[in-house]
Amino acid sequence: MTNGSRVIFFSSTTLIASTVAPPYLLYNATKGAIEQMVRVLAKDLGKNGIRVNCVSPGPTGTDLFLKGKSDELIKTFANANPFGKLGDPEEIADVVGFLASEDSRWVNGQNIRVNGGMA
């Protein structure tokens, strides 16, 4: 990677939610590893002008997220934040775009939770 490159990882808001169900154990374990990798790589690669950050979306209205969930469960997720809605994929993409841009030149080693204030 060249000076000025960016690495953007993805994690999840489930890591800080207090109502995580047992089936999410392995999912959260892998996301926790990603968040630690961001902190370590940011220090290591930062020496070469490479920024490493992470985006942790909350419930987002994608086909994958919606699949197999009842309308009632989706409404519960939507009401878990002050806006009373699921995130839109474009709202997550906006943050990724910011991290990829020069506007984020002083952002390194961060985990940005994009969840509408859910957690």
Calpha distance 25→57 (Å, rounded): 18
Q: What is the 3-state secondary structure (H, E, C) of 18-83?
A: CCCCHHHHHHHHHHHHHHHHHHHHHHHHHCCCCEEEEEEECCECCHHHHCCCCHHHHHHHHCCCCC
Residues classed as catalytic: 27
